[in-house]
Amino acid sequence: MKVRVPSFYKTFHCIASACTDTCCAGWEVDVDEASQTRYASVPGNFGQKLRSSIEDGHFVLAEKERCPFLNSQNLCEIYLHLGKDSLCDICREHPRFIDVFGDWKELGVGLCCEESVRLLLESEGAFSCEEFLDSEEPEALDEESLDARNSAFAMRAELLERLSNRQIPLSERLADILRLTASFSEESPEPFFEDPFEIETHQTEILLQGESLGAEWDFAKMQIQQSLKKGPVKKIQSLFSDSDGEKIVAYQIFRYFLKSLYDGDMLSKVKFAIYFWLVLRSFGKELSLPLAKPSPAICAVKLLSKQLEYSEQNMEILETEFRENAYFSIGAFLKLLGETG
């Protein structure tokens, strides 16, 4: 199997108690059947705790929605008692993700993790990947699927190449890749609005309508609502540079663009990547306030990623809006990029 990973992927590791956050609170922790079978034979009091803490295929969360095996130092008691190999699948793999496209496998780490955000933002130069071989047997693709996969790879490579051209302002690069993707869709790129703040307001209202994944988001939501009430601000000191924006958009295109092979919707994948960046650019300060450490920029990316990418409901809402809502049209995005970029 051929493997493709972000250039920083091999340096990623969980920083455990050094992390200012934890992956083991605020989420439902599923316990796969193989892990449940292993836990059934663990002896002693710890084995009893393991078995009594599982209900309907997941751990019963403790106070403040913490995993019952997360200790006061934010370390995993299962890891400490039984070793890494005894972790259930989700705990061993998160925040990594994996996609397989025939004889290619792509891996990465989600931006809900502060260490992955740090590695992305601190990486040198444009976003890039490394490729290597592993021992896993590839999946077979028929000729039609193989052609579609290769075309999607080529299209994504073209988007990333255009995005990396730092001789052109970021806003123009984003508009360029949006127009390029739109040329393969039936959606018109003509603008429908004159006021960028009207577009931003309606786009943000959709963002705030989704389900909440925690108190941090609830606080940030309140801050964003207050910011919108103040009206348009001509100059905002963003937490992020254009280089940051380029990397963030590129990473989201790397992660999501190939999923268009399943639904045929390339344009929504590019819209999501740009939308993710526009929200950070406009409301990075508000998104960073609930957490503050390790840095405002990292906190903002992490919180937005958690709220959007780790909620199936919220991602489905956005996908529908990208296809059907005029405020998420190509023209609306181009207006935002042209007026505020």
Quick check: bond before 196 cis, omega within 30? no
Residue that wins the pLDDT comparison between 126 and 189 = 126
Residue 107's DSSP bridge partners are: 98
pLDDT at 194: 75
Which amino acid is located at 340 in the chain?
T
Q: Are the beta carbons of 290 and 296 closer than 8 angstroms?
A: no
In the block, tokens 């000191």 appear at 237
pLDDT at 293: 79
Q: pLDDT by residue (tens digit) across 306-324?
A: 999 999 999 999 999 999 9
pTM over 0.85: yes
The model's confidence at residue 304, banded by pLDDT at 50, 70 and 90, is: very high
Which segments of 210-265 does DSSP mark as H helices, in order? Answer: 215-229, 242-256, 260-263
The span from the CA of 6 to the CA of 22, in Å, is: 23
Judge whether residue 155 has pLDDT over 60.
yes
Residues in contact with 12: Cβ distance below 8 Å, sequence separation at least 6, in sequence order: 109, 115, 116, 119
pLDDT at 94: 86
Closest C-alpha among 235, 234, 167, 206 to residue 313: 206
CA distance to 115, 186, 248, per residue, from 118 (Å): 5, 38, 11
Judge whether residue 339 has pLDDT over 60.
no
